[in-house]
C-alpha cells in the first residue's frame, strides 16, 4: 500500500492531476480525451468486424474490413499509453478496486480475441467465416461490453456497481441463450423433424 501512495504522490502523477493550465487541469483532461479517442478507435471498428462475422451487413465484403486492424491497434496503443500515464493519478483508488481488475481482464480477453479473429478470418483464410470465428466474435462483443461498463462503474461507489455489472453479465447470458435458440429455429425443417422423431 505504501508503494501505491508513493506512486500517487509522485511528481508525474501530481503534475498530471494538479497542473493548472488554461483554467483547468489541462494535462489530465487532455490525457482523458486521448484515452476516450483511443477506446473509440479500438472498440468501434472491432464491433463492426464482430457484427460482420456474425452475419450482419453481408453486402460488405469481409476482406475489406481487414484495414480496420491497423486503426484498432493504433487505438489500442493510444489507449494503453494514456491509461498508463493516468493510472498513477489515482493509483490507490484504481489498484485497490476489484472492478478495475474486471475491466483489465475483459480488455485482455477482448484483445486476445482480436488477434485470434484476425488469424482465423483474415490470415490465409480469404474471409471464410468458421464457427470458431463466430464464437470469437460473440466473445469479443461480450468482453468489450463488460470492459466498458466496468470502466464506467469505477466512477461510482457502493453496491450499485456490482449490481449493474451482474445485470450486464445476466443480460449477455440471456442474449447468448436467445441467439442459440433463434439459430435452432432458423434451421427449419431439419430441427423440427428431429423433434418429431424424438417424441
pLDDT at 92: 75
Distance from chain centroid for Cα 13: 26
pLDDT at 6: 63
pLDDT at 183: 63
CA dihedral 52→58→60→61, nearest 10 degrees, is 90
Give per-residue burial for 31-66: e unless 16+ CB within 10 Å, then b: beebbeebbebbbebbebbbebbbeeeeeeebeebe
- Residues 71, 182: Cα–Cα separation, whole Å: 33
Q: What is the pLDDT averaged over residues 23-34?
A: 77
Examine the pLDDT at 188 and tell me if it is beyond 80. no
Q: What is the pLDDT averaged over residues 145-170?
A: 80
**Domain ranges across the chain:** 2-186
Least confident of 2-16, 47-61, 117-131, 177-191: 177-191
Contact status, residue 54 vs residue 134, Cβ threshold 8 Å: yes
Q: What is the pLDDT averaged over residues 144-168?
A: 80
Examine the pLDDT at 82 and tell me if it is beyond 70. yes
Q: What percent of the chain has pLDDT over 90?
A: 32
pLDDT at 89: 82
Distance from chain centroid for Cα 137: 11
Q: What is the pLDDT averaged over residues 145-173?
A: 79
Mean residue pLDDT across the chain = 81
Residue with more model confidence, 187 or 113: 113
State the pLDDT confidence band at 197, using cuts at 50, 70 and 90.
Answer: very low
What are 108-133's pLDDT values in tens digits?
999 999 999 999 898 876 667 888 89
Amino acid at each position: 500500500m505504501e508503494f501505491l501512495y508513493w506512486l500517487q504522490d509522485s511528481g508525474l502523477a501530481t503534475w498530471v492531476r494538479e497542473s493548472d493550465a488554461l483554467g483547468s487541469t489541462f494535462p489530465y483532461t487532455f490525457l482523458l480525451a486521448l484515452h476516450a479517442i483511443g477506446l473509440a478507435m479500438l472498440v468501434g471498428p472491432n464491433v463492426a468486424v464482430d457484427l460482420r462475422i456474425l452475419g450482419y451487413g453481408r453486402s460488405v465484403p469481409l476482406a475489406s474490413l481487414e484495414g480496420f486492424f491497423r486503426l484498432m491497434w493504433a487505438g489500442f496503443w493510444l489507449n494503453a499509453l494514456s491509461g498508463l500515464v493516468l493510472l498513477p493519478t489515482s493509483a490507490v483508488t484504481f489498484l485497490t478496486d476489484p472492478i478495475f481488475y474486471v475491466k483489465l481482464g475483459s480488455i485482455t480477453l477482448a484483445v486476445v480475441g482480436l488477434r485470434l479473429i484476425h488469424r482465423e478470418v483474415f490470415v490465409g483464410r480469404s474471409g471464410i467465416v468458421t464457427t470458431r470465428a463466430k464464437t470469437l466474435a460473440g466473445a469479443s462483443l461480450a468482453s468489450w461490453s463488460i470492459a466498458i461498463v466496468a470502466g464506467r462503474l469505477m466512477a461510482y461507489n457502493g453496491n450499485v456497481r456490482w449490481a449493474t455489472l451482474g445485470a450486464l453479465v445476466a443480460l449477455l447470458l440471456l442474449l447468448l441463450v436467445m441467439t442459440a435458440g433463434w439459430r435452432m429455429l432458423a434451421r427449419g425443417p431439419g430441427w423440427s423433424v428431429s423433434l418429431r422423431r424424438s417424441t
